[in-house]
Every structure is written in C-alpha cells, then in structure tokens.
Amino acid sequence: MKRAFSLALLLAVACGGDRRETPAGAGAPSGSSNKAITIKGSDTMVILGQRFAEEYMKNNPGVVIHVNGGGSGTGIAALINGTVDLAQSSRPMKDGEKADVEKKRNAQLNETPVALDALAVFVNESNKVHALTLDQLAQIYTGKITNWTQVGGADAQIVLYGRENSSGTYEYFKEHVLAKADFAPRTQTLQGTAAVINAVSRDVNGIGYGGIAYAQGVRPIGVKKDAGSPAVEPTEANVANGTYPVARYLYFYWISTASPQLQQFVQWATSPDGQKMVENVGYFPLPEKTRTSTQ
C-alpha cells in the first residue's frame, strides 16, 4: 500500500512538472494550440537559440519559446525521447540517431542548417605560436607533441583543454582534426566553450578549441591545412569561401509533425532577419546558396 501511495505521489509530482512547462501558453489568448516551443541542445548554440527566441517572440506575441543547453547529444536524446520540439546541434546527426528519431517519433526528421561556425583553436595571448598545421594539432591533442618547442614556441609543457564528450564540439574536433583518434588522457575537459576560453586566458601554456563567437581574452591561431599551405585565420571571409579548414554548420533538428508555429520559427531563423541575429551573436550567416537550398 505504501508503494501505491508513493507511486501516486510520484505521479502527482510528474503531472505538476508537466503543467509547469507551459505556463505562458495557458494564459495566451488562442488557447490550446499555443503550446510553448521547447528547444534543447548544443551549448555552443544556447546564446544563438536564445537570441532567436527573444527576437521571434518580440515580433510574434503569443508564441512562447524555451531554450536550454546541455550539449548536442543531450538535445538529440531529448528529441528522440520526445521531450523537446527542436534539437540544436553543432554536429550533423549520426545515421543511427536519425533512425531512432524517426522510429520513436514516427515522423520524418528535418535538418536545417542555421549558421556557420568556425571552430577556432585558442592559445594564451602571450604565446609566441601563431599558426599550426592540422597535423600538428592532431599530434598535440593525441599527446604525441607535448612541448611548445616542438611547434616553435617556448620551452614549456603544453596544457590541453577540451570539452566533455557530450559536446558536439568534442565530436567535431575528434572527427575532423584527430581523424577519430582518442584525445590524450591529459586533456582537461571543461563544461562549455566559455570555460575553455577562461582557462586558456589564465594559462600561459594552455591550448583550447571552441566556437569563434566566444573568443575573448585569448588569441585564435591560424590553421594550415598542411605544412606547405598558408595559415588561415578564422574570419568570415575565410569560412565563407571554404579556405578555413575547421568550419562547421550549426543545425536545427525537428520532426515534420511539429506545430506550425515551430515550422514558421525555423523558416524565420534562416531568413535574412534571422541571419542578422546569427551575425549579432558572432557566428557567420549561411552562404546565400545554402540559404535557398534548405527551403
């Protein structure tokens, strides 16, 4: 009997939680169709998502959007489980994940790139190293190069900073820079790009990676595709023309049975108005070509 009672208690708590998710929606004029849109995912994209939401809600009164972080993997898992309407991801979804969504939600999955991000590599401002090749980066992060002298810097041990393995940035870096090799165990994993930047700004021998929008107090270095090619800085022009080797799209994932409000929101995000927000936050807007092709 006690168990039955505790079950009832849990249920009551769960129901209370459910109701809390749509506080403003209930008060909105048009009633039940006005359920809040919930967004979750990439920590890299939290600020972007929030700006999108603020601006969109300002122009479309009655629409309520909640944005949460947690990591791309977290957002995707939530989309699979059906606890959010839209997942923000800083990496493309894996085939297995796509199949999971379509199976569990019984609907078609939509992928919409909303911004371009250059994954910058940061060093402390006092560091003498100004450029690294992709190969050097891989060797540094897999622990084969351990001293800054080996890449033309001061004689000091390289202190590695990275992201948790729930992060899209982690997976992107692992796949595109490390060629899927494991990070060195000595990589200190921190919660969020802001924490990585903060750590590198305080550590003269530190190196870190993350979205370009966060680069403050540290110096992004130029990246060379190989030893012979020129060092490319992570600037908009270089990212847009494809010469910067570590750039990626940031994605919205949503299912086709989503509410019309959500579909309008996604459409707005890729419109010129939405892309202005992308620039404001510090990412790069989609190239014109991609913008039309996603529609």
In the complex, what is the shortest distance from the CB of residue 126 to other proteins, in angstroms, rounded to a whole number?
15
* Residue 188: φ, ψ to 5°: -85, 120
Residue carrying the six token digits 């190069």: 145
Shortest Cβ distance from residue 210 to other proteins (Å)?
Answer: 16
- Between CA 94 and CA 25 the distance in angstroms is 33
Given the complex with other proteins, which of 25 and 211 has the nearer CB atom? 211
CA 137 to the chain's CA centroid: 21
Q: Which is nearer to other proteins, 121 or 200 (CB)?
A: 200
Burial of 254 by CB count in 10 Å (0-12 exposed, 13-18 middle, 19+ buried)?
A: buried
Kindly tell me which of 48 and 158 has the beta carbon lying closer to other proteins.
158
Least distance to other proteins, CB of residue 71, Å: 5
Closer by beta carbon to other proteins, 159 or else 266: 159
The least CB distance from residue 10 to other proteins, in Å, is 10
Euclidean distance between CA atoms 276 and 223, whole angstroms: 27
| Cα 17 to Cα 12, 21, 259, 262, 264, distances in angstroms | 9, 7, 21, 22, 27
Do β-strands 86-89 and 65-68 pair in parallel, antiparallel, or remain unpaired?
A: unpaired
Q: How far is the CB of 212 from other proteins (least distance, A)?
A: 23
Nearer to other proteins, 143 or 282 (CB): 143
Q: At its nearest, how many Å lie between other proteins and the CB of residue 40?
A: 10
Task: Rank residues 123 and 286 by Cβ distance to other proteins and give the closer one.
Answer: 123
- Give the residues lining the site for other proteins (CB under 8 A): 2-3, 6, 70-71, 73-74, 77, 81, 157, 159-160, 164-166, 170-171, 174, 180, 182-183, 185-191, 199, 202-203, 205
C-alpha distances out from residue 39 to 6, 47, 143, Å: 31, 12, 37
Cα separation, 87 vs 100, in Å, equals 14
Indicate the residue among 11 and 231 with the shorter CB distance to other proteins: 11
DSSP E strand boundaries for the chain: 37-41, 65-68, 86-89, 109-123, 131-133, 159-163, 188-190, 206-211, 219-220, 222-224, 247-255
CA distance 103 to 212: 35
- Residue 206 Cβ, how far from other proteins at the closest point, in Å? 8
